[in-house]
Chains A and B, each alone.
Chain A
Amino acid sequence: MDAVEKANTERQKRWVKDQKVGEGTYAVVYRGREASTNRKVAIKKIKVGQFKDGLDMSAIREVKYLRELKHQNLLDVFSSKTNLNLVLEFLDSDLEMIIKDRSLVFLPADIKSWMAMTFRGLEFCHRNWILHRDLKPNNLLIASDGQLKIADFGLARDFADPGYKMTCQVITRWYRPPELLFGSRYYSTAVDVWSVGCIFAELMLRTPYLAGESDMDQLKTIFRALGTPTEADWPGHTKLPDYVPIGQFPKTPLRDLFTAASADTLNLLSQCLIYEPRKRISAKDGLNHAYFFALPYPSHPSKLPKCAAQLTAALPLEELDGNTLSGKTNRLKRKLSSPDDAKTRSSVARRLDFTKQTPGS
């Protein structure tokens, strides 16, 4: 057994897989724990076998960006047989569950708090030149202390150098901006901001704002809600590769749908949903928007509404025996972040870290 294999087995022994909690297209997620401390983690097993030419692209992307974005980190990576396993922080709910839980009531301050955290996370990605490209409530995980964390970097990539095309088949349809629906291959951070705008609206409506049934229908849904863009609204959009004229819809004021929202709220929302990507607000400007400074102050994360599964999860284990949790485990989710494990990280990372080199020769 060579040294690499040995190190790998050792690492594998640190973690114990418990039960399967979910399955995606390229990975299976298990609930697990650290063998020595019993700390709860999520283990994401990447399916390797089914891809002819090695690892799935999104797995590589996910590992790459999780390693890069420091305050959301991966705990460990090991392989067993031919599978690659990622050990991630275990977070038990996401924003989608909370939106769907009809027993919860959202205050304007709660929505403000979630939006502030989303914008802050997004700004961090953009600051590090990374486009997330799959923002949706389902991918905004909620920690037990109420902190919101952006997850699932399977579709993320860094800004393209000029001349490199990017794919337009990203972002879940309901949150996909019109420039991607029109097949643009050159886009920027504005695509994520559109998704955030859709999430913002969804938090207020408690139902997906722009829910199209197909890509064509999605455009129609957007235009029906926000009016068909003119050349003045969005210069050059008729020249985009997949442009097709879609019926003329009048522009209806957002106020008609969001009757209870304040003027600041609607202003930020409308700025997130501007057709022209260059005019769309940036994550940084979004954080400085008057909406966040106006009263009421954003709720403290610990006061945000939580769903029942999460409340029980926060309780000591013995209280849980025999009730609630077993039925709900398949809805639990996994994910990243907790800066407390720096030691593990450095032992795994094969990165060049010039600051820690020891003196010698």
Chain B
Amino acid sequence: MANRLNWLQGKTVRKNTPAGSHSRSSSTPQVHSTSSTIFGGGVKDPSGRITEYSSDDDQCPVCKSDKYLEKKLRLLVSSCYHKMCESCIDRLFTLGPAPCPICNKVLRKLAFTPQTFEDLGVEKEIAIRRRIAKEFNKRLEDFSSLREFNDYLEDVEDITFNLINDVDPVGTEARITAYREANAALTLLNSQREEAYILSLRQAEELERKEKEMRAEELRREEEEERQEKESGKREIIERLERADGADAAKVVQRTKRERAEREASRKGVAPGKGAQALLRARMAAAAATAATKDTPHIPFQDDYYAYDDMFVLQRVYLDPSSEAVRKDREGIMRAGGYQVEEAWERAVRSAVAGLDLLPLDTVPSSYAMDQGGDVIMSSA
């Protein structure tokens, strides 16, 4: 698990060099072992791992210390593709950007990356190709003809070649910038497409893995059950033999076996387990219901609600002293909460008209008596 997390975070995978590896040719790339490091970057393989290159011939070109004297020697690569050991980098660049001791290009400490390939030329080419691929990600669909697409690829290759071999660096960078500006939207879109594709791949993988796990689990359970079944069968035979000491042993064994086989058959018909089966049946019933009921188009309101909308017209303003404070504050503290005094008015008017079509009571309940003035008096009973 820890291992898997490591590559997810793009950390360097460290393996100790096997003890016997000294006998191998010293130029053989070996996986390097170091203490934890602040240096990121490096070339990742498809699983996100970074494998570091190191050999017994390593020697720091700056301080000339080598693997023989300095067991922990680790060379890192600068952005100008010169190697240096960690302690030199610390010494030269801790106080801020400084010129490279080999080519005088100004470097920063954090721009050093671990080395993956023996040949630094390869290292450089890969870095450049990655960068270019990120920018120039047009696809065949983005062109009207194959010819145009091929021309575009030719151009890209041209730029890449120039960068790798340092041919006209200023002009090439200008070409890249111009392209970037002209195609910003398309580049973004294509990179999103790419991400979505990768995501879907990963999800599919995950799904497959889960399914596999589930199947394995199922299988294991079945095997376990079978084993238990067999064991209990054996025990039963032994018990019966114990009890029926006078009878024919062979017969007892045979009968027990037959009974078991019968039980087995009936169990298989009912299996697997009562609770799980009930659940299964419920699921199947649900599935059957699914097949039976058709989805219907959406109907916004499923009750015939009559809102009395045709019985009133809401005025723009009412004489309403109690709401004055709210109305005055059109742009103030009450406004931003979304309170609308019109809603209160609408409610009042709607409630009022809702009562209009109710018939007035022409009778009163027997337990009440109405006096002349129209007041209801409770009966004395």
Q: Which residues of A contact B (CB under 8 A)?
A: 71, 109, 112, 116, 120, 123, 127, 129, 159-163, 179, 182, 184-191, 234-237, 239-241, 259, 276-278, 280, 287-288, 292-293, 296-300, 302-303, 306, 308, 311-312, 314-315, 319-320, 323-324, 354, 357-361
The interface residues of chain B lying within 8 Å CB-to-CB of A234 are 336
Q: Is the beta-carbon distance between A123 and B301 smaller than 8 angstroms?
A: yes
Q: Is B259 an interface residue (CB 8 A)?
A: no
Q: Is the beta-carbon distance between A179 and B363 smaller than 8 angstroms?
A: no
The CA of A163 and the CA of B307, in the complex, are separated in Å by 26
The interface residues of chain A lying within 8 Å CB-to-CB of B364 are 357, 360-361
Given the contacts A235-B331, A303-B289, A323-B275, A179 and B295 also touching, CB distance less than 8 Å: no
Interface residues on chain B, number (Cβ under 8 Å): 54
CB-CB contacts of B324-344 with A at 8 A, as 1s and 0s?
A: 011100011111111111011
Contact of B282 among A120, A302, A315, A323 (CB under 8 A): A315
Given the contacts A162-B320, A237-B336, A361-B364, A297 and B326 also touching, CB distance less than 8 Å: no
Contact of A361 among B300, B336, B369 (CB under 8 A): B369
The interface residues of chain B lying within 8 Å CB-to-CB of A161 are 322-323, 344
The interface residues of chain B lying within 8 Å CB-to-CB of A360 are 363-368
Least distance between B78 CB and chain A CB atoms (Å): 35
The CA of A288 and the CA of B199, in the complex, are separated in Å by 34
The interface residues of chain B lying within 8 Å CB-to-CB of A296 are 295
Given the contacts A357-B365, A360-B363, A129 and B298 also touching, CB distance less than 8 Å: no
Most buried by B among A109, A123, A311: A311
Q: Is the beta-carbon distance between A236 and B336 smaller than 8 angstroms?
A: yes
The interface residues of chain B lying within 8 Å CB-to-CB of A187 are 337-339
Q: Is the beta-carbon distance between B326 and A109 smaller than 8 angstroms?
A: no
The CA of A237 and the CA of B335, in the complex, are separated in Å by 8
Q: Is the beta-carbon distance between B293 and A127 smaller than 8 angstroms?
A: no
The CA of A174 and the CA of B197, in the complex, are separated in Å by 32
Given A162-B339, A359-B363: 14 more A-B contacts, CB < 8 Å: A179-B337, A185-B337, A188-B337, A239-B336, A276-B338, A287-B300, A292-B298, A298-B295, A300-B294, A302-B290, A302-B293, A314-B282, A320-B278, A360-B367
* Smallest CB gap from A259: residue in B: B196
Q: Is the beta-carbon distance between B332 and A239 smaller than 8 angstroms?
A: yes
Least distance between B262 CB and chain A CB atoms (Å): 25
Least distance between B209 CB and chain A CB atoms (Å): 15
The interface residues of chain A lying within 8 Å CB-to-CB of B334 are 184-186
Contact of B295 among A109, A120, A162, A306 (CB under 8 A): A109
* Smallest CB gap from B295: residue in A: A297
Q: Is B131 an interface residue (CB 8 A)?
A: no
